[in-house]
Structure 1
Amino acid sequence: MDLRTLRYFIAVLEAGSLSRAAGTLYIAQPALTAQIKKLEAELGAQLFDRSHAGVTPTPAGLQLYEDARRLLSDADAVRERIQRLPQGPEGSVTVAVPFLLASLLLGPVLAELKASHPRIRVFVLDDLSLMVKKAMLDRRADVGILVDTPQVEGLACRPLAREAIFACGFDRDGSVAPRLRAGRRGKARLAPRPEIDFADAARLPLVLQSRRFAIRQRVEEAAATLGVALNLAHEHDSARVIRSLYVCGAGFTFTPACALSDNPPAGEGWIAARVVRPALQRSYAIATPADRAPDPAAQVVARALVRQAARLIAEGRWEAELLAEVEPEA
C-alpha cells in the first residue's frame, strides 16, 4: 500500500465509477482496476460493491476513505515542512583537535558554521595530539587534525599547515637577549620574530611537559641529534601549570606558533624566539576515516577548518605555512 494507490482509491470512491476515475487520473481502466484489486488483497477486505451502475463503498471502504484522506493530508504537510527548511547538509559531526590549536581555530569555525549551516551540529574533542589520533582510529570523531602524522593506516590524511616552534619566557636579567639574532620578515608581520639556536635554547632553564607529549618528543630528538643536554628546571603534564611557571619567570618553554597569542604581550623582557639550527617544526593534517567517504556534513566542517586556517595565516594571526588547497565555498 502506497500513497499513489490511496489516491487512486479516493478518486474511484468520489467518482463512483472506475471508468470515470480512470479518465480523471489519465490511466487505463484495466490498470486502475488492477490497482484496486491489489489494494483489497493487501488489506484483506472488499472495498467496493460493484454493479452495472458503478461502485459503492463497503463499510471497510468508507473507513479506509477517512483514514486515507488523513494520511494524504499528513503526507502533504510533511512535504511542505521539509521544503520550507533551509537547504544544505545536516547532521552531527564530531571534530577532534589538539588542545593548543583548538583555542585559535575552533571558535571562528564554529561561529561560521552556525551562521552558514545551522542544521549541522558540531561536537569538539580537544585533547593531546596522541588522544586525537586515538579518537579518530576508534571512530569517536568524524574529522580530526593530527600532529606530525602525515599518514595513518585506516585514515585518509591531507596536509593542512606547518608551523615553527618558539622558545618563550621572561628574560629577567637580560642574559638571553644577546643570544638572539634578527629573524626573517614574515609575510604579514610588521616586525620579524627573533631567532635562537636550539643549543642555546636547550641551556635555558626549561619548564616542559613529560615525554609523552609531542613537543617534548621533538625537543628530545633535536637534543639527541646535536648531543646536547636539556637544562630541565620543571616537568609537569598540565599545560596550565607549565604556562603558570614560565609566565611567572620560572623558566622558558617551547611553544608552537598557534599558541603564541596566549602568551603575555611583548615587553618587560618577554621573549618569543623562533628556534633554528635545527628548526623545530610542527605539521598538521586533516584526517577522515579511509574506509568511507565523509558524509556531506563532515565535508562542510573539514572545508571550514581549512578555510579558517588559511584566513588566520593570511592575516598574520597564525605564523604558519598553509599546505592545504582551499576549496571554494559551496
Structure 2
Amino acid sequence: MTDVDLRKLRYFVAVAEELHFGRAAERLHIAQPVLSRQIRALEHELGVQVFARTKRSTELTPAGRQLLDDARPLLSSAEALRRRAVQAARGPKTFTIGFMPGITVTQAVRAFEALRPDIDVEVLRVTTLDQVQVLYDGRADVSVVRLPIDQRGLSIRPLFEEPRLAMLPADHRLADKPALDLADLADEHLLQHADQVPEWRDIAIELRSGRPRPLPDLNSVEEKLEHVASGRGISILPLSVAAYYQRPDVNAVPVNDLSPNKVCLAWLASRRSRTIQDFATVADNVDWTRPR
C-alpha cells in the first residue's frame, strides 16, 4: 500500500487547475523541472497516468479527473486538521461562523456568547463559491448558507426562507412593473449559473438560439450588479441581499413564481462537538427574519 504524499497532491491540483506546467510552477513558486519530476513520481506511486501531455497541451486523463475530485476534499481536510491543531495550541477556543451576504448573524452571536462565555467568536463573510468550502478547509466551524449546495458530508439545519427578486437595469422595459412572472424573463441573460436558479431551466435558459451565452466571471454581488446596471443581463437575488445592495441604477422586482431562498446552518457531519450543537440550538431560537 502506498501512502499518498500531500505535497505531491498539491502540486497535482495546481497543474490540473492550470493545465499548464509553467503557470502551475509559478503559482507554486518552484522550478518547472522540479514540478514535472514530482508529477512523474506521483504517477509512478499511483501506477496510473494523470496527465496526457503533448508539446502543445496538457489534459487530464480519466484517472486524473478522478484524482482531482478526490484530492480537493482531502487537501481541504488536511488544512482543516492543521488549523484546528493550531487553534487548540493557542489556548482559548475560537469558534468561527461563516455567513452569506444579506444575512446578519449578530443576534445569534450575542446569544451564543452569553451561553458560552468561554468561547471566542469570530465571523467570516463567505460567497456562493466558498460557503461550503470554508467548512472543509477549517476556516469556519459552521456556515449560514443559502441553498442549493452540495449537502454530501454535511449536517443541515433549516433557519428561514425569504423571497427572491429579479434585479433589472433601472431603464429596463420591465423595471417599473409591480411584479413579474418567470415567463416575462424568458429572453433575458441570467448572470449566474442555472443551478442557482433552478426554475430558470423551465423558461428556456438556452434561449431561442439553443445555445447558452457565456457567463462572465462574477465573484461578488457587487460585480453582478455592475453588470446588471450596464445592461449586460439580469440577476436573481434574495430579498435581504437586494435590500442591502440597493442602488439607483438597478431595480428589484418581485417574481410571482420564484420559490423562496432557503437559508440553513451547515457544518461537517463528522464533527459532533458540543460547541457546534450549542450554536445550532441558539440558531434555532433566533428570529432571523426580525428587522435589524
- TM norm structure 2: 0.53
| CA–CA separation in structure 2 for the residues paired with 1:222 and 1:208 | 14
Residue 260 of structure 1 aligns to a residue in which SS?
helix
Matched, 1:94 2:96: yes
Q: Match of 2:180?
A: 196
1:245 & 1:262 partners in 2: Cα distance?
17
CA distance in 2, matches of 1:292, 1:270: 42
Where does the alignment leave 5 or more consecutive residues of structure 2 unmatched?
Answer: 1-91
CA distance in 2, matches of 1:307, 1:136: 23
> Is residue 274 from structure 1 mapped to residue 254 from structure 2 by the alignment?
yes
Higher percent of residues as strand: 1
CA drift of 1:137 comes to 3.6
- Counterpart in 2 of 1:284? 263
Q: What aligned pairs does 1:1-330 form with structure 2 within 5 A after superposition?
A: 91-98=93-100, 100-101=101-102, 104-111=103-110, 113=112, 117-148=116-147, 152-172=151-171, 175-176=173-174, 180=177, 194-204=178-188, 206=189, 208-209=191-192, 211=193, 216-219=194-197, 221-229=198-206, 235-239=216-220, 240-247=222-229, 251-264=233-246, 271-277=251-257, 279-295=258-274, 297-308=275-286, 310=287, 312-315=288-291
| Cα displacement (A) at 1:244 | 2.8
Mapped partners of 2:152, 2:205: distance in 1: 34
Q: Deviations over 1:115-146 (max 9, x none)?
A: 66543212333323352223324454322233
Cα separation, partners in 2 of 1:150 and 1:91, compared to 1, 3 Å: same
Structure 1, unpaired ranges of 5+: 1-89, 181-193, 318-330
Shift of residue 167, structure 1, vs aligned partner: 0.3
Q: Identify if the C-alpha distance between structure 1 residues 123 and 230 changes in structure 2 by more than 3 Å, giving closer, same or farther.
A: farther
Distance in 1 (alpha carbons) for counterparts of 2:143 and 2:196: 21
Given that residues 208 and 234 in structure 1 are in contact (C-alpha distance below 8 angstroms), is that contact kept between their aligned partners in structure 2? Answer: yes
Give the length in aligned residue pairs. 196
Q: Deviations over 1:27-74 (max 9, x none)?
A: xxxxxxxxxxxxxxxxxxxxxxxxxxxxxxxxxxxxxxxxxxxxxxxx
Asked if structure 2 preserves the Cα contact closer than 8 Å seen for 1:169 and 1:246, the reply is yes
Q: Is the 8 A contact 2:159 2:283 kept in 1?
A: no
Matched to 2:155, the amino acid is: A
2:160/2:289 contact within 8 Å kept: no
